[in-house]
Amino acid sequence: MEAAVSRVFKGVATMDGAGVRLRRIFGFHDTEALDPFLLLDWFGSTREADYIKGFPWHPHRGICTVTYLLAGTVRHGDSLGNAGTIGPGDLQWMTAGSGIIHEEMPQLSPGGVPMGVPDGVSGFQLWLNLAASEKMGKPQYCGVLASEVSVVEPAAPGDAKVRVLAGSFQGVAGPVRGAPRDPLYIDVELAPGVSIALERPKGSTAFAFTFAGSLACGNAKLEEGDCALFAPGDTVTLAAGPAGGRCIWACAQPLRESVAWGGPIVMNTQAELELAFRELDEGTFVKKGGSRA
């Protein structure tokens, strides 16, 4: 059965971190409808002032944060000892678990051509909720280079490209495996007029966020910046508009658990949330253990 679009989110312009301008596509609302997805931020600018202050050291607990970079570079570090720089097409999958403190600092691009115009940065950060039984588990970090991401061309060469970030598409597995909620996360790029049918795991929550061109899905037309949430169904067919279309497609099984959310920390009860912030104040937030890859 084909899944229809049930809602379209436009998002709102906002500022986060130390002063990064971005568009919050969804977050802090509609947690039941989007379960287990919590937040999707779309950032991108060639103006240094819009991104250079970045996201200095801050905590997370109870969630996974997924950063997917399209352009530019971001320097990062965390309390597990991970540190480095991610570039175009790279991916960071961080399971905060019981607590992690990290920073993500966009870097000034060396300058484009002509006239030394900065390339800027662009990309996404997606948050997925953890089950109550996972929230106080060991933090884990997985960094993925663009070269490790499989690209599937399901149609004629050049008509469609699917970058498999997590889960699998047409039997091709992405580099992120064993993540909580067993999510499917892919980047779908279509040439003008090309269509693609996407399978949806049974019972999963699914959304498509169009970040270039336009896409048609049934009676719905998704312009750049539109995020579609889908009603129940096994497949979704996307058709690119006259300028082509590109989107991220994400699916994961809902948790159906209570949500207590305070900024970068998401727990199940208010008491757990208050404990997390108290531990942060007392310096006991980060626990022993954790793993990195």
Residue 132 backbone zone (phi > 0: left; psi -120 to 50: alpha; other: beta): alpha
Predicted pLDDT of residue 113 = 45
- pLDDT bin (cut points 50, 70, 90) of residue 137 is very high
The pair of three-digit structure tokens given for residue 260, joined into one six-digit string: 């207590």
Q: 115 falls in which pLDDT band (50, 70, 90)?
A: very low
Range in 28-37, 112-121, 123-132 the model is least confident about: 112-121
∠ CA 75-79-82 to the nearest 5 degrees?
A: 45
Based on its alpha-carbon atoms, the radius of gyration of the chain, rounded to whole angstroms, reads: 19
Among 64, 135, 132, smallest CA distance to 102 is for 64
**What is the pLDDT at residue 110?**
60
Q: Which residue is associated with the tokens 């497949």?
A: 235
pLDDT of residue 131: 98
- pLDDT-based confidence at residue 108 (cuts at 50, 70, 90): confident
Positive/negative CA dihedral, 31, 36, 39, 45: negative
Alpha-carbon distance of 210 to 220, in angstroms, equals 12
233 pLDDT higher than 60: yes
At 65-88, the pLDDT tens digits run 999 999 999 999 999 999 999 999
Does position 293 have pLDDT exceeding 60, yes or no?
no
pLDDT, mean of residues 78-106: 95
- As to burial, measured by CB atoms within 10 angstroms (0-12 exposed, 13-18 middle, 19+ buried), residue 48 is middle
The residue among 124, 97, 110 whose CA lies nearest residue 39 is 124
**Residue 117 scores a pLDDT above 70:** no
Residue 219's pLDDT band (cuts 50, 70, 90) = confident
Residue 66: the pLDDT is 97
Instruction: Say whether pLDDT at 290 is over 60.
Output: no
Domain 5-288 has CATH 2.60.40.1120: no
**Per-domain residue ranges of the chain:** 5-288
- Quick check: 289 pLDDT over 60? yes
| Distance, CA of 94 to CA of 67 (rounded, Å) | 9
Lowest-confidence range among 93-107, 151-165, 191-205? 151-165
What local confidence, expressed as pLDDT, does residue 114 receive?
47
- pLDDT of res. 155: 73
So what's the pLDDT on residue 172?
96
Per-residue tokens: 179: 């993540």
For residue 39, is pLDDT > 50? yes
Kindly give the pairing relationship between strand 20-27 and strand 12-16.
Answer: antiparallel
pTM of the model: 0.94
For the chain, give the mean pLDDT.
Answer: 93
Q: With cut-offs at 50, 70 and 90, classify the pLDDT of residue 182.
A: confident
Cα separations (Å) of 74 from 49, 104, 122, 233?
15, 6, 10, 37
Return the bridge partners of 235, or none.
2, 199
